[in-house]
Structure 1
Amino acid sequence: MDNFMEMTKNLGHQPELLRLRALDATYEDALDGKLVVAPIDMNEPGKKILDSGTADGTWLRNVRSKQSAQHDYYGSDVEGELFPENPDGITYFAHSFKDPWPQQYLGFFDLVHIRGSLAGSAPEGPAPVIKNLTTLLKPGGWVQLMEMNGFSPPPNGPAMTDFAKMASEMFTGIGVGDFANNNKSMLEEAGLKNVQEKRVIVNLGKKAKPELHQKSIHGVTGPLVPLTSVAKTVPSSFTSEQLDALPGRVKEELETEGGQVEMIIAFGQKA
């Protein structure tokens, strides 16, 4: 995934942040505004919440905006340049989730959240990353993971069907495999209890609400060029020309027909 990271960096941080905010709005709608799915009591003040892969902290700010109680919010990202100039009461620190976490954060958090980032665990795969996340939790704390199901997607048109096939082949090729469907079992193997899974259908393009029509398209299609670039480096059933054409096909199909993706949310609690 280094190729993906390099291409998104070269495209500039601002376009990527705008895309991530568009995706945030799309996912928030699919979740009916309930961004914290793990059964943590957010009415009890003083929770310590970490978003790993936070970018500019949009998820944290959206969670905070819904709370009446005061909590402490932390965001980490391998790309510290994405952090906002004004932290606005959120603590940011640069960190790769592949590395051991800073000593001061071990046993510290009530909730650790990751969304759409675990493909970056290649080539080792998400299992050691997830095990590493559990070291951050207080007793009774939760890990919440949210990732796209590329291996058994909802029915779609031919372009979105090819998108899912490309993603599944790419995930296999870089060594992470069908991690979204396996996150629940990896949380269990990491020693967490009360492990659960929730599946959410996300409407895109013409199938989304009118106000999310363009945002949902932008959120999903923005990373397609870098992703197809990665797909060219691993075994694929697609030709290079077919991969080059895929971003345009997906965008057109979402605009004219719409589409759907399934997001899988897995969460578990430290004993």
Structure 2
Amino acid sequence: MSAQTKIEEDTYQGPRHDGEYERLRVQHEMIKTLMKGRLVLAPVDLSKPDLAVLDSATADGYWLLDLAQHVAPTATLMGADIAPQRFLNPSELPANVSLFPQNIFDPWPDYAQNAFDLVHQRFVLPVCSDQTSMDVIRNLLVCVKSGGYLMLHDADFDSIEEGEGHEAMERLRDVLRRSWSMIGYNLSPGPKLRGWFEHAGLEDVHEEILHIKVGASADNREDGERPIGVLLAALDGIRVNMGKMSGFFFSDEDFAKLKIDLKKELETNGNCYNTHIVWARKAAEV
């Protein structure tokens, strides 16, 4: 497969600062722990010598680097992202891993179509409306081989604990919702994934819901600290990316206070929210 694709316009509106990529790596380890070390839930034979996997919106390729340790060296592992400036250097990648630029809203290149046993994408659809989420899913399906699998993972931030002792977490949710709605984002695509898969005609649809225990709610300190870091970094991302917009509703002082309040609240009272993993098979050609 070739990996030469040009993006005419970089339309990504999310954060790209160093802290965001560190947040993504911490988030990866957090999710991997919750999944008991599993990276793939779809029934794909990872031992296949000719296995082909695509990781859409791969960021710096971290998920693929982890997967490369669990598949044959002859497997083809490809990652795509709209921000290639953050890709790891080819010298840092295993020989069977390659990265290429791709906008999830654009048609995929010919070499990526009907090419993969598994197409994976995680925590991406918040940047979409319901309609464009369906468009993205249809685009991804083009990359899946007949009989192959699509696996998506997204959050449900409407599932947080509310009420007394959770006021800062509620404020975070409200800031995220209002901020993201300003640029067409979707706060909680996770619960919608299954319906979108079924509407797209995927077969044998399965879903697993992960419960993210944050701070004091977690079973141990390390597991609790990771999601705190992820949430604080998400707040920083909103501040960096949108906080300087003219007329933005949340001031620097508001951000600073919420960050302090949120950290203290999560360390003391904890919280939790859900993420949804959905996988399904592309119909085999007759």
TM-score by length of 2: 0.80
How far apart are 1:91 and its partner, in Å? 0.7
Question: Please, which of 51, 59, 65 is the counterpart of residue 63 of structure 2?
Answer: 59
Cα 1:87/1:174, change in 2 over 3 Å? same
- In structure 2, give the amino acid aligned to 1:220: L
1:1-271 matched pairs, under 5 angstroms: 4-5=13-14, 8-9=15-16, 11=17, 13=18, 15-67=19-71, 70-85=74-89, 86-89=92-95, 90-122=97-129, 125-154=132-161, 157-177=166-186, 178-208=188-218, 209-227=220-238, 230=242, 245-271=257-283
In structure 1, the gaps of 5 or more residues are none
Aligned residues: 265
Q: Is the 8 A contact 2:159 2:273 kept in 1?
A: no
How far apart are 1:222 and its partner, in Å? 0.7
In structure 2, the gaps of 5 or more residues are 1-10
Residues 10-65 of structure 1 show CA distances to partners (whole Å, capped at 9, x for unaligned) of x3x3x322221111111111111112111222233321111111111111122222
Q: Is the 8 A contact 1:125 1:175 kept in 2?
A: no
Q: Is the 8 A contact 1:124 1:175 kept in 2?
A: no
Q: Is the 8 A contact 1:137 1:270 kept in 2?
A: yes
Secondary structure in 1 matching 2:88: coil
Secondary structure in 1 matching 2:157: coil
Q: Is the 8 A contact 1:50 1:75 kept in 2?
A: yes
How far apart are 1:74 and its partner, in Å? 0.7
Cα distance in 2, alignment partners of residues 123 and 142 from structure 1: 22
- In structure 2, give the amino acid aligned to 1:127: M
Q: Is the 8 A contact 1:112 1:143 kept in 2?
A: yes
Q: Is the 8 A contact 1:151 1:165 kept in 2?
A: no
- In structure 2, give the amino acid aligned to 1:261: Y
Please provide the CA RMSD for this pair.
3.0
User: Percent of counterpart pairs with the same letter?
Assistant: 28
Q: Is the 8 A contact 1:53 1:114 kept in 2?
A: yes
Cα 1:245/1:31, change in 2 over 3 Å? same
- In structure 1, give the amino acid aligned to 2:281: Q
Q: Which residue of 1 aligns with 2:4?
A: none
Which is further off, 223-232 or 71-80? 223-232
Cα 1:61/1:175, change in 2 over 3 Å? same
TM-score by length of 1: 0.84
Q: Is the 8 A contact 2:211 2:273 kept in 1?
A: yes
